[in-house]
Amino acid sequence: MADRPLSPHLGIWKWGPHMMVSILHRVTGDGMAIVGLGVLLWWLGALAGGEESYAAFYDHASAWYGIAVLIGLTWAFFNHASSGIRHFVLDLGAGYELDTNRAFSWVSMASGVILSVIFWAAILLL
């Protein structure tokens, strides 16, 4: 093996909320791209297919598993948006202090859940 410095392995880094936000940002973006696109195309196809195909879509979307998928997509959207705002603030050069970064990371993750709950409470209760 060559006598050269090696990059540090992930095992030596101390995990923190900022790392989780980064991972969730990527996962939610991919989830919205894959699952969200599938649901969108199915919905558009059901609209174009007429009353019977839309009724079939609605039956699946309003079942417990359809609502679970829609809630998951809603959480992914709000979590990704919150994380995007966090990254925008970091791109402006603010929030790099360790305590501020850690707090903003927790706020970013919590706001995705809180906004999803508020959104679905408004849909189901109104």
* Cα atoms in the 13 Å half-sphere on the side-chain side of 72: 19
- Tell me whether residue 80 is annotated as binding: yes
- What is the token pair recorded at 9? 């392995």
Q: Give the three-state DSSP class for 27.
A: helix
Give the residue from 80, 42, 74 showing the smallest Cα distance to 58. Answer: 42
Give the residue from 40, 2, 37, 23 showing the smallest Cα distance to 79. Answer: 23
Q: 82 near 113, Cβ under 8 Å?
A: no
- Return d(Cα 39, Cα 107) in angstroms, integer: 29
Residue positions forming the annotated binding site: 80
Residue positions forming the annotated binding site for heme: 80
